[in-house]
Amino acid sequence: MQTQTFDNDLDNIKKRKRRSDLKKNWPLLVMISGAVLFVFIFAYIPMYGIIIAFQDYNPALGIKGSQFIGMDNFTRFFQAYNFNDLMYNTFILSFLGFLIGFPLPIIIALLLNTLRSKRSKGIFQTIFNAPHFISVVVLVGMIFLFFGEYGLVNSIIRAFGGERVSFMLSSKWFRPLFIGSGNWQEMGWSSIIYLAALAGVDPQLHESAKIDGASRFKRIIHIDFPAIFPTISVLLILSIGNLLSVGHEKVLLMQTGPNSVVSEIISTYVYKIGLTGSSEPGYAAAIGLFNSVINVVLLIIANYSAKRFSENSLW
Protein backbone atom coordinates (compact mmCIF):
# COMPACT_ATOMS: atom_id res chain seq x y z
CA MET A 1 0.00 0.00 0.00
CA GLN A 2 2.79 2.40 0.93
CA THR A 3 4.68 1.50 -2.25
CA GLN A 4 1.61 2.28 -4.39
CA THR A 5 1.14 5.62 -2.62
CA PHE A 6 4.81 6.47 -3.17
CA ASP A 7 4.51 5.66 -6.89
CA ASN A 8 1.43 7.83 -7.22
CA ASP A 9 3.17 10.73 -5.49
CA LEU A 10 6.17 10.30 -7.77
CA ASP A 11 3.94 10.35 -10.86
CA ASN A 12 2.23 13.49 -9.65
CA ILE A 13 5.59 15.18 -9.07
CA LYS A 14 6.70 14.27 -12.61
CA LYS A 15 3.46 15.60 -14.12
CA ARG A 16 3.80 18.90 -12.22
CA LYS A 17 7.40 19.19 -13.37
CA ARG A 18 6.41 18.59 -17.01
CA ARG A 19 3.68 21.23 -16.78
CA SER A 20 6.13 23.64 -15.17
CA ASP A 21 8.72 23.02 -17.91
CA LEU A 22 6.06 23.50 -20.57
CA LYS A 23 4.98 26.85 -19.12
CA LYS A 24 8.58 27.95 -18.76
CA ASN A 25 9.80 26.92 -22.21
CA TRP A 26 6.72 27.46 -24.39
CA PRO A 27 8.34 30.33 -26.38
CA LEU A 28 11.19 27.98 -27.38
CA LEU A 29 8.71 25.26 -28.33
CA VAL A 30 6.81 27.72 -30.52
CA MET A 31 10.04 28.81 -32.21
CA ILE A 32 11.13 25.24 -32.98
CA SER A 33 7.68 24.07 -34.09
CA GLY A 34 8.16 25.60 -37.55
CA ALA A 35 11.41 23.70 -38.09
CA VAL A 36 9.86 20.46 -36.84
CA LEU A 37 6.88 20.91 -39.18
CA PHE A 38 9.19 21.67 -42.11
CA VAL A 39 11.29 18.54 -41.50
CA PHE A 40 8.18 16.41 -41.07
CA ILE A 41 6.60 17.62 -44.33
CA PHE A 42 9.70 17.62 -46.53
CA ALA A 43 11.78 14.81 -44.96
CA TYR A 44 9.49 12.26 -43.32
CA ILE A 45 6.36 12.29 -45.48
CA PRO A 46 8.35 11.76 -48.73
CA MET A 47 9.80 8.56 -47.22
CA TYR A 48 6.56 6.96 -48.36
CA GLY A 49 8.08 7.06 -51.86
CA ILE A 50 10.71 4.46 -50.85
CA ILE A 51 8.06 1.89 -51.79
CA ILE A 52 8.86 2.38 -55.49
CA ALA A 53 12.29 0.84 -54.89
CA PHE A 54 10.47 -2.47 -54.49
CA GLN A 55 8.20 -1.98 -57.49
CA ASP A 56 8.33 -2.03 -61.26
CA TYR A 57 7.20 1.55 -60.98
CA ASN A 58 5.07 3.07 -63.71
CA PRO A 59 4.25 6.80 -63.29
CA ALA A 60 0.98 6.31 -65.16
CA LEU A 61 -0.16 3.69 -62.64
CA GLY A 62 1.24 5.40 -59.55
CA ILE A 63 2.54 3.74 -56.40
CA LYS A 64 -0.67 1.86 -55.69
CA GLY A 65 -1.06 0.54 -59.24
CA SER A 66 2.57 -0.45 -59.96
CA GLN A 67 3.60 -4.08 -59.70
CA PHE A 68 5.45 -5.16 -56.54
CA ILE A 69 8.66 -7.04 -57.44
CA GLY A 70 10.41 -7.25 -54.05
CA MET A 71 14.21 -7.17 -54.15
CA ASP A 72 14.53 -7.53 -57.93
CA ASN A 73 15.75 -3.95 -58.42
CA PHE A 74 18.47 -4.44 -55.81
CA THR A 75 19.52 -7.79 -57.29
CA ARG A 76 19.72 -6.19 -60.71
CA PHE A 77 22.03 -3.47 -59.40
CA PHE A 78 24.27 -5.92 -57.53
CA GLN A 79 24.63 -7.98 -60.72
CA ALA A 80 25.17 -4.96 -62.99
CA TYR A 81 28.39 -4.93 -65.02
CA ASN A 82 29.39 -1.53 -63.58
CA PHE A 83 28.50 -2.19 -59.92
CA ASN A 84 32.11 -2.55 -58.76
CA ASP A 85 33.24 0.50 -60.74
CA LEU A 86 30.46 2.67 -59.32
CA MET A 87 31.18 1.61 -55.75
CA TYR A 88 34.93 2.05 -56.17
CA ASN A 89 34.69 5.47 -57.86
CA THR A 90 32.23 6.74 -55.25
CA PHE A 91 34.25 5.46 -52.30
CA ILE A 92 37.60 6.73 -53.58
CA LEU A 93 36.24 10.18 -54.45
CA SER A 94 34.45 10.59 -51.11
CA PHE A 95 37.19 9.04 -49.00
CA LEU A 96 39.98 11.16 -50.51
CA GLY A 97 37.80 14.25 -50.16
CA PHE A 98 37.14 13.38 -46.52
CA LEU A 99 40.79 12.55 -45.81
CA ILE A 100 42.03 15.85 -47.20
CA GLY A 101 39.05 18.06 -46.47
CA PHE A 102 38.22 17.19 -42.87
CA PRO A 103 41.48 18.42 -41.23
CA LEU A 104 41.70 21.65 -43.28
CA PRO A 105 38.94 23.61 -41.47
CA ILE A 106 40.45 22.59 -38.12
CA ILE A 107 43.89 23.84 -39.16
CA ILE A 108 42.45 27.09 -40.55
CA ALA A 109 40.44 27.72 -37.37
CA LEU A 110 43.45 27.10 -35.14
CA LEU A 111 45.64 29.39 -37.25
CA LEU A 112 43.05 32.18 -37.43
CA ASN A 113 42.54 31.95 -33.68
CA THR A 114 46.24 32.63 -33.08
CA LEU A 115 46.14 35.97 -34.94
CA ARG A 116 46.31 38.82 -32.46
CA SER A 117 45.01 41.52 -34.78
CA LYS A 118 41.21 41.43 -35.16
CA ARG A 119 41.56 43.29 -38.47
CA SER A 120 43.92 40.69 -39.91
CA LYS A 121 41.74 37.88 -38.59
CA GLY A 122 38.67 39.41 -40.23
CA ILE A 123 40.45 39.90 -43.58
CA PHE A 124 41.75 36.32 -43.72
CA GLN A 125 38.41 34.91 -42.59
CA THR A 126 36.66 36.82 -45.38
CA ILE A 127 39.17 35.50 -47.92
CA PHE A 128 38.61 31.92 -46.77
CA ASN A 129 34.81 32.25 -46.60
CA ALA A 130 34.23 34.04 -49.91
CA PRO A 131 34.55 30.94 -52.18
CA HIS A 132 31.62 29.29 -50.37
CA PHE A 133 29.23 31.77 -52.02
CA ILE A 134 30.33 30.85 -55.54
CA SER A 135 27.75 28.66 -57.27
CA VAL A 136 28.72 25.20 -58.50
CA VAL A 137 28.21 26.23 -62.13
CA VAL A 138 30.47 29.26 -61.76
CA LEU A 139 33.07 27.18 -59.92
CA VAL A 140 33.21 24.57 -62.68
CA GLY A 141 33.41 27.40 -65.22
CA MET A 142 36.43 28.74 -63.36
CA ILE A 143 38.01 25.27 -63.44
CA PHE A 144 37.55 25.12 -67.22
CA LEU A 145 38.87 28.66 -67.50
CA PHE A 146 42.04 27.88 -65.57
CA PHE A 147 42.65 24.24 -66.54
CA GLY A 148 41.14 24.06 -70.03
CA GLU A 149 43.30 23.28 -73.04
CA TYR A 150 43.82 27.00 -73.65
CA GLY A 151 43.40 28.06 -70.05
CA LEU A 152 45.73 30.00 -67.79
CA VAL A 153 47.63 26.97 -66.47
CA ASN A 154 48.34 25.61 -69.95
CA SER A 155 49.37 29.07 -71.10
CA ILE A 156 51.94 29.19 -68.28
CA ILE A 157 53.13 25.68 -69.18
CA ARG A 158 53.56 26.71 -72.81
CA ALA A 159 55.40 29.87 -71.77
CA PHE A 160 58.01 27.71 -70.05
CA GLY A 161 58.36 25.44 -73.08
CA GLY A 162 56.14 22.57 -71.96
CA GLU A 163 53.33 20.73 -73.72
CA ARG A 164 49.67 21.45 -73.14
CA VAL A 165 47.93 19.08 -70.73
CA SER A 166 44.29 18.07 -71.24
CA PHE A 167 43.31 18.39 -67.58
CA MET A 168 39.56 18.18 -68.21
CA LEU A 169 39.82 15.24 -70.59
CA SER A 170 42.27 13.19 -68.54
CA SER A 171 40.89 10.67 -66.09
CA LYS A 172 43.89 11.03 -63.76
CA TRP A 173 43.23 14.75 -63.24
CA PHE A 174 39.50 14.53 -62.46
CA ARG A 175 39.84 13.58 -58.79
CA PRO A 176 42.55 16.16 -57.94
CA LEU A 177 40.54 18.95 -59.60
CA PHE A 178 37.24 17.87 -58.03
CA ILE A 179 38.63 17.43 -54.52
CA GLY A 180 40.94 20.45 -54.66
CA SER A 181 38.25 22.85 -55.88
CA GLY A 182 35.74 21.48 -53.35
CA ASN A 183 38.09 21.95 -50.43
CA TRP A 184 39.06 25.42 -51.61
CA GLN A 185 35.38 26.36 -51.72
CA GLU A 186 34.29 24.92 -48.36
CA MET A 187 37.28 24.83 -45.99
CA GLY A 188 36.86 28.42 -44.77
CA TRP A 189 33.10 28.14 -44.27
CA SER A 190 33.49 24.83 -42.41
CA SER A 191 36.01 26.42 -40.05
CA ILE A 192 33.37 28.77 -38.59
CA ILE A 193 31.99 26.16 -36.21
CA TYR A 194 35.49 25.49 -34.85
CA LEU A 195 36.12 29.21 -34.42
CA ALA A 196 32.89 29.41 -32.44
CA ALA A 197 34.11 26.60 -30.19
CA LEU A 198 37.47 28.32 -29.75
CA ALA A 199 35.72 31.54 -28.72
CA GLY A 200 34.68 29.76 -25.53
CA VAL A 201 38.26 29.10 -24.41
CA ASP A 202 39.14 31.00 -21.25
CA PRO A 203 41.88 33.60 -22.11
CA GLN A 204 43.35 33.08 -18.64
CA LEU A 205 44.47 29.61 -19.73
CA HIS A 206 46.63 31.16 -22.43
CA GLU A 207 47.94 33.80 -20.06
CA SER A 208 48.93 31.14 -17.53
CA ALA A 209 50.58 29.08 -20.25
CA LYS A 210 52.54 32.12 -21.43
CA ILE A 211 53.80 32.73 -17.88
CA ASP A 212 54.92 29.10 -17.73
CA GLY A 213 56.87 29.60 -20.95
CA ALA A 214 54.63 27.66 -23.33
CA SER A 215 55.15 28.48 -26.99
CA ARG A 216 52.27 29.33 -29.31
CA PHE A 217 52.39 25.85 -30.85
CA LYS A 218 52.21 24.18 -27.42
CA ARG A 219 49.27 26.36 -26.45
CA ILE A 220 47.45 25.26 -29.60
CA ILE A 221 48.13 21.59 -28.85
CA HIS A 222 47.36 21.65 -25.12
CA ILE A 223 44.65 24.34 -24.84
CA ASP A 224 42.92 25.06 -28.16
CA PHE A 225 42.81 21.57 -29.60
CA PRO A 226 41.30 19.91 -26.47
CA ALA A 227 38.68 22.68 -26.39
CA ILE A 228 37.38 21.83 -29.87
CA PHE A 229 37.87 18.06 -29.62
CA PRO A 230 34.18 17.36 -28.73
CA THR A 231 33.12 19.38 -31.79
CA ILE A 232 35.63 17.50 -33.94
CA SER A 233 34.26 14.18 -32.69
CA VAL A 234 30.64 15.01 -33.52
CA LEU A 235 31.48 16.41 -36.97
CA LEU A 236 33.70 13.41 -37.65
CA ILE A 237 30.77 11.07 -36.95
CA LEU A 238 28.50 13.10 -39.24
CA SER A 239 31.15 13.19 -41.98
CA ILE A 240 31.59 9.41 -41.86
CA GLY A 241 27.81 9.05 -42.02
CA ASN A 242 27.82 11.06 -45.26
CA LEU A 243 30.91 9.39 -46.68
CA LEU A 244 29.17 8.06 -49.81
CA SER A 245 26.90 11.08 -50.28
CA VAL A 246 28.72 12.69 -53.19
CA GLY A 247 26.37 15.03 -55.03
CA HIS A 248 25.85 14.58 -58.75
CA GLU A 249 25.68 18.25 -59.79
CA LYS A 250 29.37 19.16 -59.82
CA VAL A 251 30.43 15.71 -61.04
CA LEU A 252 28.08 15.96 -64.03
CA LEU A 253 29.35 19.45 -64.88
CA MET A 254 32.96 18.24 -64.82
CA GLN A 255 32.25 14.91 -66.50
CA THR A 256 33.59 14.33 -70.01
CA GLY A 257 33.74 11.23 -72.17
CA PRO A 258 37.40 10.38 -71.42
CA ASN A 259 37.17 10.98 -67.65
CA SER A 260 33.87 9.12 -67.18
CA VAL A 261 35.91 6.03 -66.26
CA VAL A 262 36.57 7.60 -62.85
CA SER A 263 33.81 10.24 -62.69
CA GLU A 264 30.81 7.92 -63.01
CA ILE A 265 29.61 7.49 -59.41
CA ILE A 266 26.41 6.27 -57.75
CA SER A 267 24.67 9.66 -57.68
CA THR A 268 25.34 10.41 -61.37
CA TYR A 269 24.21 6.90 -62.30
CA VAL A 270 20.99 7.34 -60.31
CA TYR A 271 20.39 10.69 -62.05
CA LYS A 272 20.87 9.19 -65.51
CA ILE A 273 18.81 6.08 -64.79
CA GLY A 274 15.99 7.92 -63.05
CA LEU A 275 15.64 11.17 -65.00
CA THR A 276 17.19 10.85 -68.46
CA GLY A 277 16.49 8.66 -71.47
CA SER A 278 14.11 5.76 -70.85
CA SER A 279 13.95 6.50 -67.11
CA GLU A 280 13.44 3.71 -64.58
CA PRO A 281 12.39 5.44 -61.32
CA GLY A 282 12.02 2.18 -59.36
CA TYR A 283 15.50 0.98 -60.25
CA ALA A 284 17.00 4.42 -59.51
CA ALA A 285 15.18 4.56 -56.16
CA ALA A 286 16.57 1.14 -55.23
CA ILE A 287 20.13 2.29 -55.94
CA GLY A 288 19.61 5.48 -53.94
CA LEU A 289 18.11 3.54 -51.05
CA PHE A 290 21.06 1.13 -51.06
CA ASN A 291 23.45 4.09 -50.90
CA SER A 292 21.49 5.62 -48.00
CA VAL A 293 21.50 2.33 -46.06
CA ILE A 294 25.29 2.16 -46.35
CA ASN A 295 25.56 5.71 -44.99
CA VAL A 296 23.31 4.84 -42.04
CA VAL A 297 25.41 1.76 -41.25
CA LEU A 298 28.60 3.85 -41.38
CA LEU A 299 26.98 6.45 -39.10
CA ILE A 300 26.01 3.81 -36.53
CA ILE A 301 29.51 2.25 -36.60
CA ALA A 302 31.18 5.67 -36.25
CA ASN A 303 28.90 6.66 -33.38
CA TYR A 304 29.43 3.34 -31.59
CA SER A 305 33.22 3.64 -31.98
CA ALA A 306 33.22 7.23 -30.70
CA LYS A 307 31.05 6.27 -27.74
CA ARG A 308 33.31 3.38 -26.87
CA PHE A 309 36.64 5.21 -27.11
CA SER A 310 35.54 8.68 -25.97
CA GLU A 311 32.68 10.44 -24.21
CA ASN A 312 31.49 12.21 -27.35
CA SER A 313 28.75 10.69 -29.51
CA LEU A 314 25.44 11.59 -31.17
CA TRP A 315 23.41 9.23 -28.98
Model confidence band, residue 19 (pLDDT cutoffs 50, 70, 90): confident
* Average pLDDT of span 156-185: 90
Q: Are 148 and 167 in contact (CB under 8 A)?
A: yes
Model confidence band, residue 193 (pLDDT cutoffs 50, 70, 90): very high
Mean pLDDT of the chain: 88
**Full-model pTM:** 0.84
Adjacent-strand bridge partners of 67: 56
pLDDT (tens digit, 9 = 90+) per residue, 43-78?
A: 899 888 899 999 999 888 888 888 999 999 999 999
Residue 197 pLDDT exceeds 70: yes
pLDDT (tens digit, 9 = 90+) per residue, 116-138?
A: 888 888 899 999 999 999 999 99
Three-class DSSP labels, the chain = CHHHHHHHHHHHHHHHHHHHHHHHHHHHHHHHHHHHHHHHHHHHHHHHHHHHHHEECCCCCHHHHCEECCCHHHHHHHCCCCHHHHHHHHHHHHHHHHHHHCHHHHHHHHHHHHCCCHHHHHHHHHHHHHHHHCCHHHHHHHHHHHHCCCCHHHHHHHHCCCCCCCCCCCHHHHHHHHHHHHHHHHHHHHCHHHHHHHCCCCHHHHHHHHHCCCCHHHHHHHHHHHHHHHHHHHHHHHHHHCCCCCCHHHHHHHCCCCCHHHHCCHHHHHHHHHHCCCCCHHHHHHHHHHHHHHHHHHHHHHHHHHHHHCCCCCC
pLDDT (tens digit, 9 = 90+) per residue, 252-271?
A: 999 988 889 999 999 999 99
Q: Are 113 and 198 in contact (CB under 8 A)?
A: yes
Residue 4 pLDDT exceeds 70: no
Taking the domains of the chain in order of start, what are their residue ranges? 2-45, 82-309
Model confidence band, residue 17 (pLDDT cutoffs 50, 70, 90): confident
Q: pLDDT at position 177, please?
A: 94
Phi, psi of 68 (to 5 degrees): -80, 125
Report CA dihedral (230, 236, 238, 244) to the nearest 10 degrees: 180
Superfamily in which the 82-309 domain is placed by CATH: MetI-like (1.10.3720.10)
